[in-house]
Amino acid sequence: MSEPGRGSGLISETEWRKPSIRWGMRTTHALLFVGLVVIGIGPILWLAKSAITPTLDTISQPIALFPHGTAWSNVRQAWSDVHVGRYFWNTIVIAFGSWAVQIVVATTGGFALSVLRPRYAPIIKGLLLGTLFIPAIVLLVPLYIEIVHVPIVHKSLIDSYWAVWLPAGASAFNVILVTRFFDNLPREIFEAAEIDGAGPFQLFWRIVLPLSKPILGVVSIFALLASWKDFLWPLLVLSNPNKQPLSVRLPSIESQTSLGVFLAAMFIACLLPIAGFLIFQRSFLRGTGLGGAIKG
């Protein structure tokens, strides 16, 4: 982002001083703002409003604002009667497990590929890059069969959270992001640490990890969000409703309950991602720009 208070330079300062351009741009920006609010936040505000509106009001007057008062009972019913509370907890467990696996794989793998650099590192890097070009759909069916009949141990991982956690770790994007970050750390620090007698494990734990907080923040945010948003994979491998995350349960909740309670359940599903986004906005937006740069 360029410095605050200035544009990208598309409109020069002399042009900006002309009233016609200044007011033209200001009007355009006001319209853009209104458009963004109505389109971007509007649906979410409607969801928030309808989550606490009696079902009958939402059905008969969908865009009226509380014609007959509020119904906070929707939220309570959603949380306890249709067990959103439990599914919410499942979602959190799934998200943090996937996050942990992704962080372990990306940091240890990145450390080996970037700092320790064994001779075969280029082969592994090549295989990692190769997976980036394989669409996820190619993995779906064999991965599912592998989970149903795990080779070697001959067990089924269906309904085990490991079936969601472990495959989440196979994100080449994370490993490449972390490896590139490690590549840019100053080599002199590693050499100094080695002279002081630090082995690879101390180097990793005491020096590289503390230095890589920024990139770990970005990877963590996207790992947690991606897990929270995931639908198809948990739907396939978690067949027991008591173990399923919220996103998988929502379509069935829709048919089980009234519209008001269903909308309250959906609103609950959005709460954490929205709160997380508002708190860690900078990392989100920076990370998205970063993603574009790497993909480019």
Partner 1 sequence: MATVDQPREPAVTSDRGLPRRFTVPRRTPLTWVRGGGLAAFLFLLPLLFVFGAFSWYPIVRTAIMSFQHTNLVQAPTWVGFQNFSAVWHDPQFPVAVKNTAYFALLALVFGYPIPLIAAVLMSEVRKRRGVYSAIAYLPVVIPPVVAVLLWKTFYDASSLGVFNTVLHRVGLGPYPWLQSQQWAMPSLVLESTWANAGATMIIYLAALTGVNPELYEAASADGAGLLRKVWHITLPQIRGVLLVTLILQIIGTAQVFLEPYLFTSGGPANATLTVMLLIYNYAFGNSLGGDYGKATALSLMLAGFLAVFSLVYLRATRSWSTR
Per-residue mark of binding to partner 1, 71-110 (x: CB under 8 A): ------------------------------x--xx--xx-
Stretch that binds partner 1, among 67-75, 76-84, 92-100, 247-255 (CB under 8 A): 247-255
Rounded distance, CA 137 to CA 159, Å?
A: 21
Give me the DSSP letters along 187-252: HHHHHHHHHTT--HHHIIIIIIHHHTHHHHHHHHHHHHHHHHH--HHHHHH--SGGG--HHHHHHH
122 binds partner 1 (CB under 8 A): no
Rounded distance, CA 36 to CA 33, Å?
A: 5
Binders of partner 1 among residues 181 to 240 (CB under 8 A) are 199-201, 204, 225, 228-229, 231-232, 236
Rounded distance, CA 146 to CA 59, Å?
A: 45
Number of H helices, E strands in the chain: 18, 0
Binders of partner 1 among residues 132 to 161 (CB under 8 A) are 133-146, 148-149
Per-residue mark of binding to partner 1, 20-49 (x: CB under 8 A): -x---x--xx--xx--xx-xxx-xx-xx--
The tokens 């009667």 sit on which residue?
A: 81
CB of 76 to partner 1, least distance (A): 20
**Closest CB to partner 1 among 19 and 142?**
142
Question: Among 20, 119, 196, 210, which residue interacts with partner 1 (rule: CB under 8 A)?
Answer: 119
Question: Among 123, 129, 189, 279, which residue interacts with partner 1 (rule: CB under 8 A)?
Answer: 123
CA of residue 227 relative to chain centroid, distance:
6
